[in-house]
Amino acid sequence: MKKVTVFIRKCKLHIRCGVYEEERKLGVEVDVDVKVLSEKFIDYQDLYNLLIEVSQKEFIYLEDFAETVINNINGKWSCEKIEITLSKRSLPFQNSMEAAGVNIIWEKSNE
């Protein structure tokens, strides 16, 4: 059976996510990379629309945003593996880095 990886790279989103209340109120800039391995067809536009829809909600941690994206992807398509990288570009402290973030990999269990 053929498996295909569909991906979106460097999707720039403005999400209300952060430990600090002002981050959740004002929002932060995040780059999103997502890869989805599936045997089924996944339309890039549908995947992008899903990211936009989830980005309208409020989160405390980037991991919460990623988990919601993963759950929504799995709810829509039957996936073997999902990898999501979130890079927060606007940080609430003085820094000399381009971004900080998380990388989460979800894989279907063989049970």
Q: Does the pLDDT of residue 3 top 90, yes or no? A: no
Q: Output the domain CATH number for residue 41.
A: 3.30.1130.10
Residue 10: left (phi > 0), alpha (psi -120 to 50), or beta?
left
Per the prediction, the chain carries an average pLDDT of: 90
Please tell me the predicted confidence (pLDDT) of residue 22.
Answer: 82
The CA-to-CA distance between both ends of the chain, in Å, stands at 19
Amino acid 18: pLDDT: 82
Write out the H or E segment, with its range, that includes residue 21: helix 21-26
- Mean pLDDT lowest for which of 4-8, 10-14, 18-22, 66-70? 18-22
pLDDT tens-digit readout, 24-56: 888 889 999 999 999 888 999 999 999 999 999
Domain hosting 98: range is: 4-107
More confident residue, 51 or 21: 51
pLDDT value of residue 98: 76
Q: How many separate domains does the chain show?
A: 1
Cα separation of 41 and 25, whole Å? 37
